[in-house]
Structure 1
Amino acid sequence: MGTQPKLTRFNQEVLSKYQIYNSIFMTLPFDTISKTGVLLPLFHETCKKGFERGDDPTTIVDTFFSKYQGRRSKESQINLLFRFIQYIERQVVLFDAIEDAAFPTVNNMDGIGTLRSLKESVTSEGHLEMLRQYLEEFKVRIVLTAHPTQFYPGAVLGIITDLTEAIQNNDLLLINDLLAQLGKTPFFKHTKPTPYDEAISLIWYLENVFYYSFGTIYDYIQQNIFDGKHINNDIINLGFWPGGDRDGNPFVTPEITLKVANRLKMTILKNYYKSVRTLRRRLTFRDVEERISALEAQLYNAFVDVNAEDNITLEHFQSELKFILDTIEEKHQSLYYKEVNSLLNKVHLFGFHFATLDIRQDSRAHDKVFTAMVDTLIESGSDIFPINYNELSEQEQVKILSEVEGKVDLSLIKDEEVLKALNTIKVIKEIQTNNGERAANRYIISNNQTTLNVMQLFAMLKLVAFQDELTVDIGPLFETITDLENAHLVMEELYTNPAYKVHLKARGNRQTIMLGFSDGTKDGGYLMANWAIFKAKERLTEVSRKYDVTVIFFDGRGGPPARGGGKTHQFYASLGPTIEDKEVQLTIQGQTISSNFGTLDSSQYNLEQLISSGLNNQMHEDVNRMSPDNVAVMDDLAKISLKTYMDFKGHPMFIPYLERMSTLKYYAKTNIGSRPSKRGKSDKLIFSDLRAIPFVGSWSQLKQNVPGFFGVGTALKTYEDAGEFDKVKHLYKSSNFFRTLIANSMMSLSKSFFDLTKYMADDPEFGEFWKIIYTEYETTKRLLLKLTGFKTLMEDEPAGKASIEVRESIVLPLLTIQQYALKKIQELEKAEVRDEQQIEIFEKIVTRSLFGNINASRNSA
């Protein structure tokens, strides 16, 4: 019997199981309002039929109550809506767990994009040696960030993990208990998490998933591609942002950064201890047993007290494991060789740091700190900076910063914010001393605009803690469309700066440059953001190669396509030879972590896809080279799309619509992340202060997904109107890059549902603005189908499409309730006498219904 199509496997393993377990869940007797489980299907049906009839959310909710619950009091009706929200949130969890359990069945774990498939195709082409050479220098780094796009507290993540396992084992009794536990476990956080709390929740993935999946992949590569020989390259490694990302987050202090680094070290030592303990039961041979027992005791002491003076060192741990490995091979017929070698590989990957903690801060914040530091030093009579430093031109300042020497006496600094920033630099040095250089050796400057931004940090690092040798890489992050256009000029100035050149040489002539997809999209719209980054990467590759520097691109991506996510591995496989790709680095956050990397199976599968996509691009890069004609069309489409998006963003109703018709202002009330939802202090909503996450999230809650498609339709229509649509068709057929962008935009359209907000078309104030969005949606949808030749959106991805459809169906009642509450708030705010108590109740409904909808979007990754 052959393998069944992916959609069939999805329907059998996910959909039918969901229907069975959901029916058990609906009958569990755990709520104070009887029959919620019975009423929810009726409400779901009322929503579905109501939208088909063209009803608005208010009519749908009122119809439901008058038809089925006529005798309920107003208060009792509101209580029932809250119950519905709680039920739906948990239905989403149930669906997540079932999808996780079915992952290895629905996805072919040995299919295209996996390492096994890559090895087989390369061997048959006679390119195995070439593959080895690539793997000796190629790397993938996934960087976990704390951006709050997931609302599950730790307790719920634990239930998902246990539920996934119980479903895989068809353990009905345990599933029943876990569903009951789920019903009683609160989802709502009463206080905001601290950055340390965020770090703890992500370290859970390191400890329980990545430690094993990274190890498995590395072992496979070593055994099957390198015939068991040692590889100098770690190939896959981890970055970590919670506790180090200070951008816009006043709660990330130097103390927190140090605490997180210690926790990372403690966790990896604990994992090593567990592995050594397992090995000790096997290695009961002469010359080996006492060695492994000693290691067990030393590791135990080390993770109990991470900072004890006499703790085991990384070098000692590695040399003991190597000794044990050699002894087993020489004297004990290589018994358990594989298990010891597997642990040695993990030590090679994770050291004593587990993940590299990145520090990040905004260039504007650095500028303030730097200026205050210079002023204080000049006032104190220090000769580090000339007295007239602040009056000098940027070029002259850069020259001084290149040659600056000395050590800043921090006791002179009285300003608390300045001290925090400078102490963070001291903490980097301390972490390197305690956990090894790889533990914290990179500093990202967000909103980087000029060479001066980089050189200010360069000078601060040297003056505060790194007088002898600067063992920190500086990574400028270019985000807005303008900054992306100028990025190569900034880098050329740095590459030709004598001091920076010396620093780069000491760092192996490798330069990390980060590019911000989320803010790029918010700034310039979907097509232009992706194209501007593509073009910037080409220019940065060219200038870096000119100065013999290997540039490493670090992509700041979110989960949904609107934030640079989408089909990530297809994106990396499509870049072509004009973009440096020795290393793939990307941020992963929120629901993307749990959906793409949350289980051993999904984490291994998606890591393998990333590795092989990067390698495929290198090995077949000429296929992806864009012809001049295609470049011209792509360029033109991006420009038309940018103008369309900028006109839309400049519309006088744009900000009022987001403020009053969307859930934007409710993000701050959700207690999901430690940092504020906007950067500035102004009471008025200022677009540039707005963070990309609430911006994209608000459109997603409205089911309008504007950042993923707006401008695409108009750009395509311009070609259709001019009778030149065949040019775009040619681009689509011949460019993998453009095809990937279109597929991701299609996903954004698939998750849009304009029937939900159709009532806004009649709004005297916002009706015209709503119609602009709807028209662009319709145009984009029609032309994407015309371009691809599909009958329906995502026709080529039936299983992904089916997953989205089920998830959208689960949250349909939730969205209806949310829109109903938003409408009620608008009415209450217009009333002659404001009923604050009622407003507060409906605001609570809006906030609570944010959660389930965001969690349900996990396949946006």
Structure 2
Amino acid sequence: MSRKPKLERFQENISSKYQIYNSIFMTLPFDEISNTGVLLPLFSEICEKGYAIDKNPTEIVDKFFERYVEDKDEKEKTNLLFRFIQYIERQVVLFDAVEDASFPIVNNMDGRGTLRNIKEEAEEKGKLDALKIHLKRFKIRPVLTAHPTQFYPGQVLGIITDLAEAIEKNDLLSIKKLLAQLGKTPFFKKEKPTPYDEAVSLIWYLENVFYHAASKIYNYIQQNIFKDEEIDNQVIDLGFWPGGDRDGNPFVTTEITLKVAERLRSTILLNYHRDIRKLKRRLTFDGVEKRLARLETMFYKNVYLRKEDGMLSLDEFEKELKAIRHVVVTDHKSLFCAEIDDLINKVKLFGYHFAMLDIRQDSRVHQGVFENIVSTMKTKGTALFSGSYINVTEEEKIKLLSEVTQVIQPEYFEDEITNSTISSIYAMKTIQARNGERGANRYIISNNQSALHVMEAFTMLRLCDWKQPNVDVSPLFETVPDLQAAQAVMRTLYENEAYAAHLKARDNKQYIMLGFSDGTKDGGYLMANWSIFKAKEELTAVSREYGIKVIFFDGRGGPPARGGGKTHQFYASLGSTVEDEEIQLTVQGQTISSNFGTLDSCQYNLEQLLSSGISNEIFSNTTAEFSQDDKKTMEALASVSYDTYVAFKKHPMFLPYLERMSTLKYYAKTNIGSRPSKRSKSKEFNFSDLRAIPFVGSWSQLKQNVPGFYGVGTALEEMEKKGEFDQVLTLYKNSAFFRTLLENSMMSLTKSFFKLTAYMKQNEEFGEFWSIIFEEYERTKAMLLKVTGYDELMQNQPAGKASIHAREKIVLPLLTIQQFALRKIQELQKDPEANEAELKVYEKMVTRSLFGNINASRNSA
């Protein structure tokens, strides 16, 4: 590990290498249009100089054509812009690969937040026993989701992996070939992926990265902290949503859910088969050789021939491995024992399920389904209730639900959504029977607003011939009002006899999911984060009151605007008033490839997550995160920020601006995810139907990043005007939680570039609205620098800032082309005689330019 500062390591190993390999890439002879590789740097330079003197995107593009390609006709100019887009997309891939290759050099793999560092600190402070006690119950669960914030097709991800390996070895010939392959490989998906396609692409990460990184961490804990003592705790679980997440996705069927579960099972068995083959090459001793051969044959028949006969149960498989280990220890001087332990540990971690498949559906769907169940059963003469259900109070409904004893089958119901909802529950039973209980044992209720929403889902589980469901029912509280009501909802449930009995059977554990993206979209950045923190405190208190261990599951997303940012810093900042026995969070899109895409980055970031929970519990000297004064300050800031954001959302130009001036409507055309881009089929543009990803993404494409900062500056300025800025400085000094929020907001500001859209200031319709956003950006930037005492944004994270600037420089021409195309579209739409074919060309240009910008933002979490 180099002792040079991180920024210097970044510049030497990433910036410089990228420049070298990019120069090779730019001279590769695969252009359909000659000299594209020569012209793009010239275009980049004109973009930078143009914005420096306040030129707009149209003027910049026109200036470029005038200076360098004046002799081309309009079609050739348009083709050149498309070729630039393709080049820039591939430059982003190259930068990703260089960054991946240099990860262990730029990041200290044994430094702060790693397991080795944690172990040494525990030994130094005499807290090794406390660390062992904690690790016997503490877990992390990253949950991979298919939410579409990643635009790379599978073959491009493969090239990134191979490129990173070649760059690490400085293998110039391979690099050149891979860059040529990259130039020829299409990025654009002609068809939307199915949920099964999404699952298969994410299972690649499980098979090739998590399988090795998670077991390496577990082996380290067992060998170096527990000294080979057996640990009755997985420490790392993996979660999975593709194929099980039905919320807003009509394409997730029961058949796909079962198919995904089967793919997860076959993939983990394939990995075991590979490991057993490796073991067989080493354990060539009497008493074990034939036993390993039998295991190899068993997995081969199951994986490749689809033959189940002779397949051992998970318990039997683990016992057989332990028996082989015993023979090796007793008779063969423990030769290759570490390799056997590695496989035993993998079996503990991944079972026959590999990752835990969650099922998720919206409460509004459940409500309709349940009412359909009630009416259908009544017409069949087997009514669920003696009296009315639909027209009684919520309290009475909950009482009725607690007493339901009937059994229903999917085929009872003609209504498609009712049939599929019931089928999904029966699918969970099938998966548990085949892959083990951990295969699918959590049902998440999106948009959960009341105790009734939980009870309806719980009752549906019981109706599906499951008197004592082996399933955790998890409400997801998303909006600010839902978060405020969460404590009362859970109190009602804890006091319900039927639900309390269910919790007792589930080891008195209650999983509660808290959603950041919709919270930010609903209430703005500060209020969303503060509401979640308060909800966690309240839910922790009420759960402890009833003897329930609450486990929080965060829908944290990727960029700060979706709850992401510096994730481990966030968890390390929580005090003892928030239950922290497990850290569970969604990981999606480019966050999967950037934080967990290679063995080094995956191991490093899993260890950082583990250490954030450990350090909070073992090394923290604080008993509570906030003093009453600090809480009052935080409340005041969140309140002003919320009012500011809500007023902004209510501005009459808010929706028209997003609809007409941003890339929002183009997200649906990108074919990046299986889900529809909005919740309803209505053609009318409605804020409540808008999904968080295209909402946040559209602000990102504009380089305005509103959800990550809007309202923060006004709130801080308000405190200053009231003469209470000292309280803010005290809060900043005392609270790691507040410091982390401000750092993440700084990241959003750093990724903003208002010169790109400054032309909108002159727009008759939207000029005033653009100015409102820009003024809040300037205000927030000034106030954050004042609170932190920094001279510039992200001053304490120079390497992270350098990475952002490098990526922003790569995509600046791309964004310029996108804005140029949007302006052309606006012109053509005003012209009644506009050429429809020309309009379609510019719309395609906008859609194609979405890709590189989003992929370039992979360092957002």
Judged with a 3 Å threshold, the aligned counterparts in structure 2 of structure 1 residues 790 and 409 are, in CA distance, closer, same or farther, namely closer
d(CA) in 2 for partners of 1:284, 1:465? 49
For each residue in 1:111-147, what CA deviation from the matched residue of structure 2 results, as whole angstroms up to 9, or x when unmatched? 0000000000110100000000000000000000000
How far 1:846 moved relative to its partner?
0.2
Query: 1:13 maps to which residue?
Result: 13
Give 1:311-460 correspondences, 5 Å limit.
311-460=311-460
Q: Quote the offset at 1:326 in angstroms.
A: 0.6
The aligned amino acid for 2:63 is T
Amino acid at match of 2:212: Y
Q: Aligned in 2, Cα 1:385/1:305: closer, same or farther, shift over 3 Å?
A: farther
Q: Which residue of 2 aligns with 1:22?
A: 22
* More divergent stretch after superposition (677-686 vs 471-480): 677-686
Partner of 1:74: 74
- Tell me how far apart the structure 1 counterparts of residues 367 and 216 of structure 2 sit (CA, whole Å): 45
- Structure 1 residues 2 and 11: CA distance shift in structure 2, 3 A: closer
User: Given the alignment of the two structures, is residue 249 of structure 1 paired with residue 249 of structure 2, yes or no?
Assistant: yes
Distance 1:194 1:273 in 2: 29
Between the aligned partners of 1:620 and 1:644, the Cα distance in structure 2 is 38
In the aligned structure 1, how far is the partner of 2:602 from the partner of 2:24?
30
Assess if the C-alpha contact under 8 Å between 1:429 and 1:465 holds in 2.
no
Q: How many residues align?
A: 860
Matched, 1:750 2:714: no
Q: Do the aligned residues in 1 keep the contact of 2:409 with 2:422 (CA within 8 Å)?
A: no
Aligned equivalents of 1:634, 1:597: Cα separation in 2: 33
1:592 corresponds to which residue?
591
2:183 maps to: 183
Q: Is 1:195 paired with 2:191?
A: no
Distance in 2 (alpha carbons) for counterparts of 1:200 and 1:712: 40
Contact between 2:301 and 2:307, CA under 8 Å: does it hold in 1? no
Tell me whether 738-747 or 313-322 shows the greater mean CA deviation.
Answer: 313-322
Q: Which residue pairs with 1:499 in the alignment?
A: 498
2:127 matched to which residue of 1?
127
Q: 2: distance between equivalents of 1:672 and 1:295?
A: 40
- Partners of 1:776 and 1:326 in 2: CA distance: 67
Is 1:553 aligned to residue 552 of structure 2? yes
- Contact 2:411–2:419 (8 Å) recurs in 1: no
Moved more, 299-308 or 658-667: 299-308
* The 10-residue stretch of structure 1 (552-561 or 616-625) with the greater mean CA deviation from structure 2: 616-625
Once the two structures are superposed, residues 672-725 of structure 1 have per-residue CA deviations (whole angstroms, 9 ceiling, x without a partner) of: 000000001211111111000000000000000000000000001111222221
Q: What secondary structure is seen at the aligned counterpart in 2 of 1:389?
A: coil
Amino acid at match of 1:125: K
Question: Which residue number corresponds to residue 674 of structure 2?
Answer: 674
**Structure 1: how far apart are the matches of 2:556 and 2:612?**
17
State how far apart, in whole Å, the 2-side matches of 1:743 and 1:821 are.
Answer: 34
Task: Look up the equivalent residue of 2:476 and give its one-letter code.
Answer: L
TM-score where L is the length of structure 1: 0.99
**1:593-641 per-position Cα deviation (integer Å, ceiling 9, x unaligned):** 0000000000000000000001111124442521111000000000000
Give the aligned partner of residue 706 of structure 1.
Answer: 706
Distance in 2, matches of 1:475 and 1:109, equals 35
CA contact (8 A) 1:266 1:306 kept: no
Residue 372 of structure 2 contacts residue 418 of structure 2 at CA under 8 Å; is this kept in 1? yes
- Cα RMSD of the aligned pairs, angstroms, is 0.9
Cα deviation for residue 307 of structure 1 reads 7.0
Tell me what 2:659 maps to: 659
Per the alignment, residue 147 of structure 1 pairs with 147
Q: Is the 8 A contact 2:92 2:852 kept in 1?
A: yes
2:43 equivalent to 1:49: no
Does the 8 A contact of 1:378 with 1:387 survive in 2? Answer: no
Instruction: State the match for 1:170 in structure 2.
Output: 170
Question: Could you tell me which residue of structure 2 aligns to residue 276 of structure 1?
Answer: 276
Q: Which residue of 2 aligns with 1:767?
A: 767
Does the aligned pair in 1 maintain the 2:14–2:102 contact within 8 Å? yes
Contact 1:761–1:768 under 8 Å retained in 2: yes
Per-residue deviation, 1:387:
4.2
2:144–2:239 CA contact under 8 A, matched in 1: yes
The 2-side partners of 1:685 and 1:621 are apart by 48
Q: Which string of whole-angstrom CA distances, capped at 9 and with x for unpartnered residues, describes residues 69-114 of structure 1?
A: 1101000000000000000000000000000000000000000000
Structure 1: which amino acid aligns with 2:98? I
Asked whether the 8 Å contact 1:377–1:385 carries over to 2, the reply is: no
In structure 1, the residue matched to 2:611 is 612
CA distance in 1, matches of 2:79, 2:751: 29
**Cα drift, residue 308 of structure 1:** 2.8
| Secondary structure of 1:237 counterpart | coil
Instruction: Look up the equivalent residue of 2:183 and give its one-letter code.
Output: G
Please name the residue that 1:221 is paired with.
221
Distance 1:418 1:607 in 2: 39
8 Å CA contact 1:266, 1:304 repeated in 2: no
- Partner AA of 1:212 in structure 2: H
- 1:833 Cα deviation from its structure 2 partner: 1.4
| CA spacing shift, 1:607–1:644, aligned 2, 3 Å | same
* 1:400 shift after superposition: 1.2
- Kindly provide the CA deviation profile for residues 339-394 of structure 1, in whole angstroms up to 9, marking residues without a partner as x: 00010000000000000000000000011111111100011100432242222221
| Structure-1 residue corresponding to 2:838 | 838
- 1:650-673 Cα offsets, whole Å, 9 max, x none, are 000000000000000000000000
- Kept after mapping to 2: 8 A contact 1:363/1:445: yes
1:313-353 Cα deviation digits (max 9, x unpaired): 21221111000111111110000000000100000000000
List alignment gaps of at least 5 residues for structure 1.
Answer: none
Runs of 4+ that moved beyond 4 A? none
Residue type matched to 1:520 in 2?
Answer: G
Q: Which residue is 1:850 aligned to? A: 850
Shift of 1:572: 0.3
Segments of structure 2 that go 5 or more residues without pairing to the other structure are none
What is the DSSP-based 3-state SS (H/G/I as helix, E as strand, rest coil) of the residue aligned with 1:391?
coil
**Shift in Å at residue 306 of structure 1?**
5.2
1:466 matched to which residue of 2? 466
CA distance in 1, matches of 2:378, 2:173: 72
Q: Which amino acid aligns with 1:652?
A: P
1 CA distance for matches of 2:843 and 2:747?
A: 30
SS at match of 2:605: helix
- The 3-state SS of whatever aligns with 1:236 is coil
The residue type paired with residue 90 of structure 1 is R
**What is the match of residue 488 of structure 1?**
487
Q: How big is the shift at 1:2?
A: 6.6
Match of 1:696, as an amino acid?
V
Percent identical pairs in the alignment equals 64
Q: Does residue 581 of structure 1 match 2:580?
A: yes
The answer to whether the 8 A contact 1:669-1:847 is kept is: yes
Contact persistence 2:569–2:612 (CA under 8 A): yes
CA deviation map 1:426-456 (0-9, x unaligned): 1000000011000000000000001110111
Give me the whole-angstrom Cα distance separating, in 2, the residues matched to 1:312 and 1:82: 55
**2:779 aligned residue:** 779
| TM-score of the superposed pair, with normalisation by structure 2 | 0.99
Q: How far apart, CA to CA, are the structure 1 residues paired with 2:16 and 2:412? A: 68
Q: Is the 8 A contact 1:90 1:183 kept in 2?
A: yes
The one-letter amino acid of 1:183's match is G
* Alpha-carbon offset, residue 406 of structure 1: 1.8
Matched-pair contact (CA < 8 Å) for 1:811–1:852: yes
Quick one: distance in 2 between partners of 1:517 and 1:209? 27
Question: What residue is the counterpart of 1:603 in the other structure?
Answer: 602
SS at match of 2:659: helix
| CA distance in 1: counterparts of 2:240 and 2:53, whole angstroms | 49
Name 2:508's counterpart in structure 1.
509
The one-letter code sitting in structure 2 at the alignment partner of 1:381 is: G
- What letter corresponds to residue 485 of structure 2 in structure 1? N
For residues 132 and 583 of structure 2, the distance between their equivalents in structure 1, rounded to whole angstroms, comes to 17
